[in-house]
Amino acid sequence: MKKHIIYSFICFLFLGNIFGQQTPAPKQTTDYSIEGATAHLGNGKIIENSLIMFSNGKISFVGSANSRIARKGKVINAKGKHIYPGFIVANSSLGLAEIDAVRATRDFDEVGSMLPHIRSIIAYNTESKIIETMRPNGVLLAQITPRGGIISGTSSVVQFDAWNWQDAVVKLDEGIHINWPNIFSYGRSSFGGARSLKPNEKYSENITKIKEYFEAAKRYLASDKKTKNLPFEAVKNLFNGTQKIFIHVNGAKNIVDAIDTFKTLNITNIVIVEGKEAEKVANLLKKNNIPVILKRAHRLPGNEDEDYDLPFRNAKILSDAGILVGLGMGGDMERMSSRNLPFYAGTYAAYGLDKEKAVQIITENNAKILGIDDKVGTLEVGKNATIFISEGDALDMSTNNVTDAFIDGRKISLETHQTKLWKRYSNKYKNQ
């Protein structure tokens, strides 16, 4: 015990003195058995008084604590606590900017409009101080997405405890992101007046441009490719279905147009991002197995006359319509707010969605949508031991209190730049 304190003290000194991040945990060598917690499996089911075991980075047992089975390795008594698969945030730009107002730290929006060859992963900063603040809330994985333009670029999925981006990758270059044109555009009505929304005269023209771009790519890919075309090379996996197209689109008409356009192009591995009014075209989405990554719940209704709680009810509405629903970020303060992901899910639960379904949205569903459900997203034998334990219900801010977190079985630090300052200044007053 004494040794432990000394170790912690040394560790604290060390960490406190470097302007840096949490040191990534070493590979799992000790087995873990977590006993007694309510296990939220991520697939909509729970096991009360559960036993979860994992070794070598993989989950080896998921079942009841009543099972007469040998506990392996270190046993954590988690009675009264909750255990979850690591939460996954989709459509995030974490690690691509550190401080919004400081231009030098912004790396999420490249010049140009058709940039499928732009890859987020190489700019992904594993040592971002913002990323480490995700972990104490249970958010352990993310899709790192570039922003801007029409085709923003290519995203990758990462986990949040790595020395560099190569180590962080869970799935490399898994999707290409496109911002679908809007049927309305903003124009300044009068000098200095409020902006006003007017029908976008160039809507169909813009769609044609997108279509022609991909048709040109298709022709190129079918050609002998004597002269390399980097952007066109970058979209090749869209056509063979191994890469997904994430269409950032709002409005029933736009969604229909978008799906129609890409189906005509034979690009069928489609994900809708944001998807305002997706419920109006639920049948089309269901028929084509197209999931929707919702924008975070904590936002204002889009129109003055909209129900105050429409953004809160969104998940319930889509889920009832039989659509696979995920949850992502985007918009103002998206990076620092990503840690609130569990509470967005909690809000959906408050407004009609079953609580376990709300968990499912940020675990299994997001994993499926991002194509990483073979590795993460549920508490299942054989999956990565990317899990965490919370003192209470992790979707509720008053009870979310992560005591232990593991990524691939590695017990990760829950310290952050912020906890260090907290401790430093708490100690300052204690010692005064």
Distance separating alpha carbons of residues 314 and 321, to the nearest angstrom: 11
The region that residue 176 occupies, defined by phi over 0 for left and psi between -120 and 50 for alpha, beta otherwise, is: beta
The residues pairing with 187 across neighbouring beta strands, listed in sequence order, are 196
Distance separating alpha carbons of residues 180 and 236, to the nearest angstrom: 20
Closer residue to another protein in complex, CB, 102/222? 102
* Minimum CB–partner distance for residue 307 and another protein (Å): 6
With CB under 8 A as the contact rule, the residue among 57, 73, 184, 229 that binds another protein is 184
Positions 298 through 327 that interact with another protein (CB under 8 A): 298-301, 303-305, 307-309
* Residue 421 makes contact with another protein by CB under 8 A: yes
# residues contacting another protein (CB under 8 A): 57
Positions 3 through 62 that interact with another protein (CB under 8 A): none
Closer residue to another protein in complex, CB, 56/189? 189
With CB under 8 A as the contact rule, the residue among 71, 106, 129, 209 that binds another protein is 129
Query: Given the rule CB under 8 A, which of 10-18, 236-244, 319-327, 333-341 is the region that contacts another protein?
Result: 333-341
Query: Given the rule CB under 8 A, which of 117-125, 251-259, 282-290, 317-325 is the region that contacts another protein?
Result: 251-259
With CB under 8 A as the contact rule, the residue among 383, 400, 405, 407 that binds another protein is 400
Closer residue to another protein in complex, CB, 301/322? 301
Q: How far is CA 82 from CA 38, 187, 376, 403, 414, in A?
A: 5, 50, 18, 10, 17
Query: Given the rule CB under 8 A, which of 70-78, 98-106, 231-239, 285-293 is the region that contacts another protein?
Result: 98-106
CB 119 within 8 A of CB 156: yes
- Closest residue by Cα to residue 172 from 188, 154, 160, 153: 154
* Residue 403 makes contact with another protein by CB under 8 A: no
**Alpha carbon distance, N-terminus to C-terminus of the chain:** 27
* Total residue length of the chain: 432
The region that residue 261 occupies, defined by phi over 0 for left and psi between -120 and 50 for alpha, beta otherwise, is: alpha
* Residue 275 makes contact with another protein by CB under 8 A: no
Positions 338 through 357 that interact with another protein (CB under 8 A): 339-340, 343, 346-347, 349-351
The residues pairing with 109 across neighbouring beta strands, listed in sequence order, are 147
* Minimum CB–partner distance for residue 410 and another protein (Å): 24
CB 358 within 8 A of CB 346: yes
Contacts 24+ apart (CB under 8 A), 258-264: 258/180, 259/284, 259/285, 259/288, 259/290, 261/207, 261/210, 261/211, 262/214, 263/288, 264/211
Site residues, another protein (CB under 8 A): 98-102, 129-130, 183-184, 186, 189, 191, 194-199, 251-253, 298-301, 303-305, 307-309, 333, 335-336, 339-340, 343, 346-347, 349-351, 395-401, 418-419, 421-422, 425-426, 429, 432
